[in-house]
Amino acid sequence: MPTRHASCNCGQLHLTISGEPARVSMCHCLECQRRTGAVISNQARFTPEQVTVTGRATQWQRKAESGSTVTFNFCPVCGSTVYWQSESFPGLVVVAVGAFADPSFPPPGIAVWEETRHPWVALPAGTPRARHVRQG
């Protein structure tokens, strides 16, 4: 069983994760684009039992485009979003793939919110796409 480490940019907020992710995905929603400052967000889902958090985190909540509440945990020193939880997938901790700083991390198995993907962003070959419906 692999042990992986994820952290914020300054290293103050650190996660130790045992085992494989339940899912790795890429999100093209506009909210993830705003949160990351990038045109795509990549995330891996783990059970809480797999994740050990050290350091301090500040939380911020928002409504997702799906209508569910998402709670983000970020470093109060450097501001990096490291992990979050969502009502849409209870019982899972979502970790930003970039926080692992590991080019050998497993690739995404699905792309979501394709409706707002920038047309010049190419997906890895064979990546399934999931359509979502905004809730008003």
Would you place residue 131 in the very low, low, confident or very high pLDDT band (cuts 50, 70, 90)?
Answer: low
Q: Indicate whether 23 pLDDT > 90.
A: yes
List, for residues 54-97, the tens digit of each pLDDT value: 999 999 999 887 788 999 999 999 999 999 999 988 999 999 99
* Model confidence, pTM: 0.85
Under 8 Å between Cβ of 74 and 57 = yes
Hey, what CATH topology would domain 3-118 get?
A: 2.170.150
Residue 134 above 80 pLDDT? no
**Nearest CA to 134 among 66, 33, 34, 64?**
66
